[in-house]
Amino acid sequence: MPDLNTFKLSGTKLVPVNRFNLEPAKPSTAFATATLLNNAEFKVIEHPIIHSIDIKSILVLPLIENYCPLIEGDKVITENDSFKDYFKNEITLFFPQVEVEPNNGTLFYYEEVPGKSADEGGFMGRVTLKYSIKNRPLQANEKSIDLNFRQAVLNLKVKNDIVRVNGTVNTATQEIQFDLIDEAVKIAFSNLVSKISDLMCDVDLFFDFKGYSKVKRNFLFAKDIAVLRNPIITKNDVTAKTTLQPKATLISSPLMVKTTRTGTVAPKMVISGIRRDNDIQAEVQEEYVKSTFLLKINKTVNYPRVPNAQTSLYWNNEGPFFNNPFNLNEDFSEFKQIFVSGYNFSQLSIYKSMVQPNTFLLISKIYSLSKDLDNMRPCVTTIFHAYEEGTDTSEEISKISFQFAVRPNLSNYDLAKLKIALLQNNFIDGDAADYFDKVQFLFPNDVGAEFEVNGNYFLQQALITADGKHYIFDLSTENLSEASILINALNNTISQYANINFKYKEIKDTSVIELNLEETIGEIVESLIDNPTKKIQINNQSISNCKLNSILLLYNQNATYLNSVFFKNYPQLISNDTKFLDFTALNPSSSGELKNVFFDFENIENISSEFSQIVSQSTSYNRYVQVQIKSQTAATTRITVELTVQETGSKFAIERLKSEFSTPILFNFIMKNTLNNTTLISYKVNYFDKNDNLTGSKNDVFDFSKTSILTINKK
């Protein structure tokens, strides 16, 4: 059973500590820059996503035996390596054998197609493969690891470079198809028949499987340690229905901190006691985490031409061939920028693939804070490191860590409408009958684009991990004033901005990162289509209210219907609210089966309005102060407050317009653990009129040990 120290309780689920449950990443991302010439080995890497584990499945023994390998170390694993089962040490686990071959005697097919004006033509083609998964001969105490086929990528070789093409996988028939256009058709044929090993194309097959791995990290003592002190959990505790916490909890405790320590016990003594209480090893805490792992298998795909055309694996519309009908041109652009009516360059850059039909690279001009798929809360974690080895009694606080995830500001509704716009602007290749299923959108990470963050000194110091369309920022600082600035920005929903610059071959583009708790991105409206009863069940999964604006209905044969009038006077969906929509009310002339629905919605997030409900959460290290502005004279339209924490010298500047006077400001700062703390904050208030003239000023001192509310009175 997994070590409970690894997880935290979220509703009725145990979820990994300090991990975001994001959308599944595209497997090809992790290997975008890997060397692909070595075909004799494959690697197992740990996927950055760890799925939530239903707590019931931990307490109740499963009816079906599932074997989970114990992955130890990070070395390259060969095909014949074995693993011990995590639950039953006597069981040895092996990967099954994976083989690929031409599909039904046809490997490569192409046709020459004319252009729209029938004056300039091009090529369209495909490479088709068949794959098979075969279990090894096993003994009684040996089992196979269950693999799920996720994705296939064809790597075409050109001089000093690689062109990657994503494939379509049909797990029912075990077929893989790679669609190609123009120069990619020529390159693929050249690779398939080449006798030069460096020019032979290969295919990466990506499978995922579940396993357990050991995590080692320094022991950090946080407020949630109370959960670890009570490892005995009753069935009633974990099966009882829980409700989502109100919005105020998002910012009422943005730092997880140690409770106030009594006495003058040295930090190392306290750490030793905690370790004894929780059976933690002396220097390093070892944990086992159930993770989703990716298995990459690389296979060379190369079948030289044979003299007899009748047995050829290469076909066109005239039949089999074995000669080379192409003149290879290696000087081509992999993506070409296109401009679609209604889509301004300031909101979205669109690049059409020149090697794979109906494939488009999208660069959103805004990246916003992502929501966690498990609880629909903003992906922000702030950890206050109360102890670290080597600190003394006079200064125990050394570091604050932040982790957050951002993603492109493009909803499923936006992407669905973009598909329609691409069709209307004649950017769809081939038969447009099923264009909705054919169109594939890529993001910078999917093509292995280089990226750099600048424009924000604090954010550009972060360690950044690419995960699918997401970027996960992980940064730590020992500058407590610097950390307080970011915490105050998050608490008061003040946007933090940075630039993220992308570079991929001939493409150079820039987006803006906006970090704001009230501007989070995520599909909060869950929908369930019931065609027999002609009903759509919708549910607001967010902790905030949701306003619906429009709905896009998708039927069979890719017929679409947009309705933005129905929701004009529709009430807001409150958190966890469920409603039913009638097909006929949304589309009176509807016919056929409804396949999917897409909602244009607004997440009515108003975290700052909840500040008045927050009581002081201060500790001896982490202090909260509310700044409240009383009613002012009609002439006062703007107020600035400059605060200085006398103990640390930290300075903060706050500005409020007249319309914002009634909204309290949650002010946070960090104190070091010294023997004689000064509990004073000196502050200066400036009053301005509508013409920005300074009409008054006030200097004063505030003692935060007596009250947590700093009141700005009328001038």
pLDDT in tens, 325-359: 876 665 678 899 999 988 888 889 999 998 899 99
CB 357 within 8 A of CB 432: no
The neighbour count for residue 139, using CB atoms within 10 Å, is 7
Q: Which residue has the higher pLDDT, 613 or 186?
A: 186
Range from 34-48, 445-459, 557-571 carrying the lowest mean pLDDT: 34-48
Provide the pLDDT for residue 7.
Answer: 55
DSSP-based three-state secondary structure for 602: strand
Confidence of residue 77 (pLDDT cuts 50, 70, 90): low
Provide the pLDDT for residue 330.
Answer: 59
Confidence of residue 75 (pLDDT cuts 50, 70, 90): low
For residue 253, how far is the Cα from the chain centroid?
Answer: 23
Provide the pLDDT for residue 539.
Answer: 93
Q: For the residues of 340-408, what is the DSSP string, one character each?
A: -TT--TTTEEEEEESSSTTEEEEEESEEEEEBPTTT--B-EEEEEE---TT-BTTB---EEEEEEEEEE
> How much is the mean pLDDT over the chain?
77
Provide the pLDDT for residue 142.
Answer: 82
What's 246's DSSP letter?
Answer: P
* 708 closest CA partner among 645, 608, 639, 617: 617
Per-residue pLDDT averaged across 307-322, rounded? 81
Q: Which residue has the higher pLDDT, 26 or 693?
A: 693
Q: Which residue has the higher pLDDT, 87 or 416?
A: 416
Alpha helices in 453-547 (DSSP H): 480-491
Confidence of residue 251 (pLDDT cuts 50, 70, 90): very low
Residue 63 has pLDDT above 60, yes or no: no
For strands 92-94 and 142-144, give the pairing.
parallel
Q: For residues 332 and 224, what is the distance between their CA atoms, to the nearest angstrom?
A: 56
Amino acid at 528: L
Provide the pLDDT for residue 673.
Answer: 58
Whole-Å CA distances, 55 to 65, 241, 290: 18, 12, 13
pTM of the model: 0.70
Where residue 73 falls (left for φ over 0; alpha for ψ -120 to 50; beta otherwise) is left
Q: What does the block give as tokens for 438?
A: 């054919």
